[in-house]
Structure formats: structure tokens, C-alpha cells
Amino acid sequence: MDTNPTYSSLVAVGDSFTEGMSDLLPDGTYRGWADLLAARMAARTPGFRYANLAVRGKLIRQIVDEQVDVAAAMEADVVTLVGGLNDTLRPKCDMGRVRGLLEEAVERLAPSCKQLVLMRSPGRRGPVLERFRPRMEELFVCVDELAARHGAIVVDLYGAPSLADPRLWDVDRLHLTGEGHRRVAEGVWQALGYEPEDTEWRTPMPTTLPPDWVMRRAADLRFARQHLLPWIGRRLTGRSSGDGLPPKRPELLPYEHRA
């Protein structure tokens, strides 16, 4: 594998995972793995350009309609595409439709860039996602098949033991912490052929004593009140957390490092 690749531009396509929730910066905006990856790539390549079209809450149909053609027109060296997981978490989900839309996105993006990057999204341990896990794994089979057909790279975050650890997930149990995003950035960095900066990104963190029953129940109640019930409410009313929000970085411009 080439350990000194030359990529001059990156476009990230997707939903909240790629937008960077919940890697919160002091100014109230989100950073996330794509920004971290862009910073590393920019440090190696003068004039490096970066766009991030991701918006939280987007379904795969919205990603295809709102982001894919925009990304393809940018003709970046690297395009990352992560989508469809929000669909699998809906009470009703037509997986055939999701697979077809993901295929449409890949067919448009792969010819437009030097390297398309797909991912098997990380999956947190715990009961909340268990009912949706078969759908998630069906989605990942589709990702693998599309990558093989179109020469895309697949970053297997779902198979990384470290990213299943609840300690790397925010209190909403849907988004990674800053450390989780750092590990994702490292995984994509290595998949693109760069020299590893952290060879242990997949390795689980040291074990600690679990919280006692009272603390676990208090955390469960707080999660349900602050995150689960509002999430269910949005699903029932057809709303999204990303309604009305613009992409975080809509133009392919020279990257400026953010602390």
C-alpha cells in the first residue's frame, strides 16, 4: 500500500455522523472525524481543499437529492459517503429502496473522484439498537458489494471493537464523542494509505468498573427524557433535527485549521 499518497481535495457527504456530532467545539459548532481528517491531509498538501456537505438527520433519499450531484460536480480527489443508517433506525424502512438509493449515490460519485470511501458505520453496544441491527448489517453487505463493484475503499468501523464501547458515545447514545471521532479519522486516514499515527485505534480502551445500578438507571432516565422521547417525537411527526440547516462547509475551499 502507498504510505505517502497525494490527495489535494476532500468532499464529505452524509448525515450527523459526517457533520461531526457530538464532537463539540468551544464556539458551539461541531468538528468531527471529517474535519480532523481534512486537517491531517491539509498538513501534507499545500493548497488542500475541503468541503463537507453533511447535514444531521438526513435520510439516504435526501442525501442523494441534495448532496450527491453537488459533490460529484466538485471533482475532488477523495469523496466520503456515509448514509442510510438513519433510514434503518426508522420504525418502517424499505431496505430495498435504501439499497437502491445507495447504489445510485455510488454510481454517481465513483466516476467523479480519484477515490471513493464508504464505511460500515460504528455500532454501540446496548439494547436500544439491537432491534435495528439486522437492518444495519444488511446495509453493510450492500456497502461491501458496491465497493467491490466500483473500486471504493470500505472502512470497517462496525468491526472495530473500540467503537462499540459505550464510553466512546455521547449521552444521546447515537453520536460519537470527540475521542470516537478521532479514532474514525485515524481509520479513514490509514485506509487512504497514509502512515499510521495511531496503530491501536481499533483496540478497546482499558476496562473500568461499570457504574452501579442507581447511576445506570439515572443515566437511562436522563437519556430517555432528553434524547429518546424528542427523537421519537420527530419520527412521529416527520420532522428531522436537520430541517432548515445548511451544509457545514458547502464549498470546496482551501482548508483552514480549527482548534
Spatial distance between the Cα atoms of 13 and 80, rounded to a whole number of angstroms: 6
Indicate whether 128 and 221 sit together in one domain. Answer: no
Predicted local distance difference test score (pLDDT) of residue 240 = 57
Taking only the tens place, the pLDDT of each residue in 132-148 is 889 999 999 999 999 99
Q: Angle formed by the axes of helices 178-191 and 33-44, to 10°?
A: 50
pTM reported for the whole predicted model: 0.86
User: Is there a contact between 58 and 240 (Cβ–Cβ < 8 Å)?
Assistant: yes
Count of structural domains, the chain: 2
Indicate whether 104 and 225 sit together in one domain. Answer: no
Indicate whether 138 and 234 sit together in one domain. Answer: no
Indicate whether 159 and 222 sit together in one domain. Answer: no
Indicate whether 52 and 101 sit together in one domain. Answer: yes
**How much is the average pLDDT of 159-187?**
92
Indicate whether 28 and 120 sit together in one domain. Answer: yes
Higher pLDDT residue, 244 or 28?
28
Indicate whether 69 and 119 sit together in one domain. Answer: yes
Quote the cell numbers at residue 34: 471529517
Predicted local distance difference test score (pLDDT) of residue 28 = 85
CA 166 vs CA 125, 207, 212, 224: distances in Å: 6, 12, 15, 16
Give kind and range of the element (H or E) at residue 9: strand 9-14
Q: Which domain holds residue 110?
A: 9-208
Quote the cell numbers at residue 17: 455522523
Predicted local distance difference test score (pLDDT) of residue 256 = 80
Taking only the tens place, the pLDDT of each residue in 225-237 is 554 555 555 555 5
Indicate whether 126 and 180 sit together in one domain. Answer: yes
Spatial distance between the Cα atoms of 129 and 131, rounded to a whole number of angstroms: 6
